[in-house]
Amino acid sequence: MPRRTDGFGVVVRDAADGPVLKLVHVGRPIGLGLVKTLLGLGLIGLSGLGLFLLATSAAGFAAAVAGLVPALWMTDWGSLMFVDGITDVLARLRTRQIRPGRAMILDRQGVRYSGWYTGAGHDVFDVVVAWSEITAAQFRPGPSEFPWFCLDAPTTLPDPGDDLRALTQRLPSDQAAAGIQVWISAQIGGQSLPAQRRVLENMYRFGTPLAINLALCRGGSAGRVDRFLRRWAPPHCRCLPTERPWWRPPPAERYLTPFSR
């Protein structure tokens, strides 16, 4: 299996020895988005129904006041689920199926990255890196500030530099995207392949070509990636999520703080 840290046009077949973890951008799962939306609406409805039943019970107003904190907690939890689900559904309807998409393939030998992955068995990988070359792993804010999982490795691909990257991050998302495409065209020309442009977009946004949005990957949970990294990657490379899982409720302690003073 050929190795090089960067460049376009490395043809590699999927490894046959050992486990392979394929992280492929296919879009947000619309079914899960609908589940989140319905669960969120259910929690909001249950909190309102609970308060109504308490207010109309024999205990009356006192019972409703006692149930206010649990109802607020459930409403907050449901709202987070509802907004998350609606966002997933709208994002999927807007983008439809996004294949061929970005793909990060991990196996016992290292990491392969494709900006235009079809899964047909003859894909061209734009970056191929051995585990010994990986220097860091972390989540970084991507488009719309959504966290992308990144693996760092030495590269000779063009880099805009921290100053230009920081300036772009302060621009509105549409202006930032347009500016990034102008920079890419200046590096490799306006008629370059979509895969090459995606790899350089990663370089611009994250400082590494190895970046993937796990929320767009089927089965791409942070826990699954972390278990794979612990098996093959350098010890300091982990996939520790920076966001609360969609199903986890917000901490109830913050609603109780005013009453504990």
Split at pLDDT 50, 70, 90, the class of 138 is very high
More confident residue, 77 or 66: 77
d(CA 237, CA 155): 18
Total domains in the chain come to 2
Cβ atoms of residues 221 and 21 within 8 Å = no
The answer as to whether 218 is a domain residue is: yes
Split at pLDDT 50, 70, 90, the class of 28 is confident
Please provide the average confidence, as pLDDT, over all residues in the chain: 84
The predicted pLDDT at position 46 comes to: 92
d(CA 13, CA 117): 12
Residue 74's nearest CA partner among 38, 95, 51, 46 is 46
Grouping H, G, I as helix, E, B as strand and the rest as coil, residue 11 is: strand
Residue 91 sits in the same domain as residue 193? no
Residue 83 sits in the same domain as residue 123? no
Residue 164 sits in the same domain as residue 114? yes
More confident residue, 219 or 61: 219
Residue 107 sits in the same domain as residue 158? yes
Residue 10's nearest CA partner among 135, 115, 132, 154 is 115
Using the predicted structure, report yes or no on whether residue 178 has a pLDDT greater than 70.
yes
Average pLDDT over residues 107-125: 90
The predicted pLDDT at position 122 comes to: 78
Which tens digits make up the pLDDT trace of 198-237?
A: 999 999 999 999 999 998 898 888 999 999 999 999 999 9
Look up the domain containing 178 and give its range: 10-27+97-232
